[in-house]
Amino acid sequence: MYVIAVDLGGTNLRVALVDKSGKIIEKRDTPTRVVGGEKIVIQQMIDLIRDVLKKSQVDVQQIMGIGIGCPGPLDTKTGVIIDTPNLGWRNVALKETIEQEFQMSVCVDNDGNLAALGESWLGAGRGVEHLVCLTLGTGIGGGIIINGEILHGARDAAGELGHIIVEPNGLRCGCGNYGCMEAYASGPGITKRTIFSIKEGITTVITELVQNQLEKITPLVVYQAAIKGDELANYILSETGRYLGIGIVSIVNVLDPQLVIIGGRVAQMGELLLNHIKDEITKRAFLEPCRRIAIVPAELGDDAGIIGAAKMIQNLIYHRGTEK
């Protein structure tokens, strides 16, 4: 038995055929043609799915269903994407469209949730029943796993972990609020704070690294400067870790998970960032949940969402089985 797993992001669209054990048999990806609008992107998805099916030569009867992860807010029951700024979609009946095309079960969930589910199945959270996963990228995606299942909340909007407030009068966040963790520790949050400091006149090797083209600054550039010993870069990194630590303390005191997994492109800063996070948590860890929390890097990289999408379909089939 196999699952078609789709990870629909604002930058890339990935489709894979995944077997029962979570092994990726075939995988395709392509830049998402966001500017083309929903019809073009859905056609891209359909083409990639057909492509993967054809290449793998798996009998369609062997496919349990199609699992799709994409940015929210969305409705997991109807599979309608309600309003996704990253894609510019509003009220798109994604589940229905793909179901009609392929005549098989389709399930849609938030990409942050599926990354968490993927990591809990085959990644850094194997065997852990209660965990939280943060994906640090253009935004901060979040997913909460309780008793091995995704916490969806009342209307599929739980797990907005990037929007924990870490500085009440702080930087404006993309969501409109002030001082969200995302405003500090997402890729753009890190970049903006760096550019702001450079424009204030602080001397840093970063300016050299991007040949004075400040718009070329990325978290990776900041990281490279930091390992060279650059003072500003190290300050930006420690501030990022500090705010992540503050946010994680709040999350952990609410949820009491066993594990916090940190993934996404920004997390490629590795130990350097992780140590700043851990330092901040240690300073604030007086209550049990924080005293014993483990903070670990994600293990599945870009495949976390695909693996999670495959697991979602397996869980769906399993639940149906037990209901009978």
Which one of the spans 84-92, 107-115, 209-217, 254-262 is the region binding a second copy (CB under 8 A)? 254-262
Work out whether 104 is an interface residue with a second copy (CB under 8 A).
no
- Given CA atoms 149, 152, 156, 160 in this order, what sign does their dihedral have? negative
Candidate list 56, 250, 268, 275; residue touching a second copy; CB under 8 A: 250
- Give the count of beta carbons closer than 10 Å to the beta carbon of residue 151: 16
CB of 186 to a second copy, least distance (A): 15
Candidate list 40, 157, 214, 227; residue touching a second copy; CB under 8 A: 157
Among 251, 265, 237, smallest CA distance to 295 is for 251
What SS3 class is residue 111? helix
Work out whether 164 is an interface residue with a second copy (CB under 8 A).
yes
Prior bond to 73 cis, omega within 30?
Answer: yes
Tokens 């739980």, residue?
Answer: 158
CB of 316 to a second copy, least distance (A): 18
Which one of the spans 97-105, 222-230, 247-255, 301-309 is the region binding a second copy (CB under 8 A)? 247-255
Candidate list 155, 216, 228, 319; residue touching a second copy; CB under 8 A: 155
CA end-to-end span of the chain, whole Å? 20
Cα–Cα distance, 123 to 279 (Å, whole number): 24
CB of 137 to a second copy, least distance (A): 18
How far, in Å, are 65, 112, 119, 307 from residue 263 at the CA level? 27, 10, 10, 14
Q: Name residues contacting a second copy, limited to 279-308 (CB under 8 A).
A: 284, 286-289, 292
> For a second copy, how many residues bind (rule: CB under 8 A)?
44
Q: Name residues contacting a second copy, limited to 131-150 (CB under 8 A).
A: 142, 144, 146
Q: Which residues of 127-144 are buried (b: 16+ CB within 10 A; e: fewer)?
A: ebebbbbbbbbbbbbbbb
Q: Catalog residues that contact a second copy under the rule CB under 8 A.
A: 73, 129-130, 142, 144, 146, 151-161, 163-168, 175-178, 243, 246, 249-251, 253-258, 284, 286-289, 292
